[in-house]
Amino acid sequence: MKTILTYGTFDLFHIGHLRLLQRLRSLGDRLVVGVSTDDFNRVKNKNTVVPFADRIKIVESIRDVDLVIPETCWEQKVKDIQEHSVSIFGMGNDWEGRFDYLKDYCEVVYLPRTEGISSTHIRKTLKVLDQTHVGELKQALDLISSIVERFD
């Protein structure tokens, strides 16, 4: 049996996440997915929108995923590879080279990301709705209004 292992935060779950998991699963017989805990994301200076308990339930519900485990620290990867008899460790190619040290334990692959979609992009798009940005937009409109009034 060929087991694949990957990790991710999977915040604002989107089609890119789904396609990556599907492509990883197609490389073997079993897919194990580590979902970053909220505490670990704070260590990585990441703020999530969706809490860990919900993110792990979302990933567990995907038919291509056989097992979901919490990712609590960078150092757990070697232990997880050994514990789950992992043949392939896979990540998106935005992580290219960062996990090459795991080649001592299994094959390491970096798969292309889905073009045009990322949690970062979604977060930037949603930022327009952030209260701070709404205030900035209001100030800009007030300034434009005062300029227009000068020409009336």
Q: Longest Cα pair distance anywhere in the chain, in angstroms?
A: 77
Distance CA 141, CA 137 (A): 6
Query: 46, 57, 103, 138: which is the annotated catalytic residue?
Result: 46
Is 46 among the residues known to form the active site? yes
Is 77 among the residues known to form the active site? no
Answer for the pair 99, 77: CB distance below 8 angstroms, yes or no: yes
Answer for the pair 86, 66: CB distance below 8 angstroms, yes or no: no
| Residues with Cβ within 8 Å of residue 12, at least 6 apart in sequence | 49, 50, 119, 122, 123
Query: 2, 44, 57, 103: which is the annotated catalytic residue?
Result: 44
Alpha helices by DSSP H, the chain: 15-25, 38-43, 52-60, 76-83, 119-127, 131-150
Distance CA 126, CA 56 (A): 22
Q: What amino acid positions are annotated as catalytic residues?
A: 44, 46
